[in-house]
Amino acid sequence: MRVSRRSLLAGVASAPATLAFPGLVPAAWSSEADTAEDGAAAATTQVPGIQRFSVGDIKVTAVLDGFFDFQFDWVIGMDEVEAQRLLADAFLPADRLRAAVNAYVIHSGDRTILVDSGTRDAFGPTLGRLLQNLAAAGVDPASIDTVLVTHMHPDHINGIVTAEGVAAFPNAELVVQEAEWAYWTAEETLSNAPDDFKLFVQLAQAAVKPYEGRVRLIATDMEVAPGVSAMALPGHTPGHTGYLVESGGDALLVWGDTVHLPMFHFAHPDWTVIFDGDPRAAAATRSRTFDMAAAERLKVAGMHLQFPGLGHVIRDGAAYGFVPAGWEYEL
């Protein structure tokens, strides 16, 4: 199952610290200082990527880390004609598969809980804005007491550590599902990895290092923080985990990488991506999660859904659709 990754990452093997995803064209995004003389921001860069939602008494802040572009040949099982139809129907460019990288802050009582942490600089300059956007949301990294990890891929965990190897969240306990931890920290995972996959493993191992002594391993189907329980969503990685936030009869499932490509996956949950460790299990989990979310009218949040990544899954014939959540005027 990892063979398919080789072709994907073939061009990446020679890249040093930064994975060179060939689709990244970040001209506008990489310009930091687009500010006019009088201090007024010019309207050529986007405003901060933050948005707030309520789940009963719990508040959730969506925080954008950035975006990257999938390559079409990273999608397994895709029918090209159907793919072009879906892109056209969604008013999207025919030649680009843009995916957000989102993270979420859960404000539960006096607790400040971060779910995933973005990429830092692992995937190039269109990403790594998490800390900047947290600041815009008024969230001090030192105030985060818990980091919940959906899985240990670099676009989810690399943001927990600074480029200097220091914990980006100095007071946080790191919470990881036990099978996920076992896989990524095992010496043989690194030694058995194909060369072009080794960087993923090295980044995961380096990211967790400064958290030594304050890592909590969890099982699923259990409460892991006040109002938050862990849900097994395996397939994409061995211990891929969702976090169900519940308060006052309201609920939100932060589902990690259940969807990579919203333009395709609701219509075709069986299309997989080369990053899936076990593609068949990933697709099965996706369909099962869609069924559950649609049947229970459960609000969901996803790391690669278009920012802020919140909404509802609906049934659409034999397939599914997604209805994004709108702005909340009162929290």
Binding site for Zn ion (CB under 5 A): 155, 257
Shortest reach from residue 304's CB to Zn ion, in Å: 6
Structure tokens at 317: 């014939």
The DSSP code sequence of 231-296 is EE--SSSTT-EEEEEEETTEEEEE-TTS-S-HHHHTT-TT-EETT-SSHHHHHHHHHHHHHHHHHH
Angle subtended by helix axes 195-208 and 178-185, to nearest 10: 120
To the nearest 10°, report the CA torsion of 71, 255, 181, 270: -50
- Nearer of residues 247 and 275 to Zn ion, judged by Cβ: 275
- Nearer of residues 65 and 257 to Zn ion, judged by Cβ: 257
- Nearer of residues 224 and 261 to Zn ion, judged by Cβ: 261
- Nearer of residues 123 and 211 to Zn ion, judged by Cβ: 123
Using DSSP, state whether 44 is helix, strand or coil: coil
Shortest reach from residue 283's CB to Zn ion, in Å: 16
- Nearer of residues 155 and 180 to Zn ion, judged by Cβ: 155
Half-sphere exposure of 7 (CA within 13 A, CB side): 11
Shortest reach from residue 155's CB to Zn ion, in Å: 4
Shortest reach from residue 267's CB to Zn ion, in Å: 20
Residues 6+ apart with CB under 8 A from 128: 65, 66, 118, 119, 120, 121, 122, 159
Shortest reach from residue 230's CB to Zn ion, in Å: 18
Q: Are 305 and 259 in contact (CB under 8 A)?
A: yes
Structure tokens at 285: 């989990």
- Nearer of residues 299 and 304 to Zn ion, judged by Cβ: 304
Shortest reach from residue 154's CB to Zn ion, in Å: 9
Largest CA distance in the chain: 57
Q: In what order do the strands lie in the sheet with 310-316?
A: 222-225, 228-232, 241-247, 250-254, 299-301, 310-316, 319-324
Shortest reach from residue 91's CB to Zn ion, in Å: 24
Q: How far apart are CA 145 and CA 165, in angstroms?
A: 19
- Nearer of residues 152 and 167 to Zn ion, judged by Cβ: 152
Using DSSP, state whether 40 is helix, strand or coil: coil
- Nearer of residues 58 and 179 to Zn ion, judged by Cβ: 179
Using DSSP, state whether 1 is helix, strand or coil: coil
Shortest reach from residue 20's CB to Zn ion, in Å: 17
Burial class (CB in 10 A: 0-12, 13-18, 19+), 331: exposed
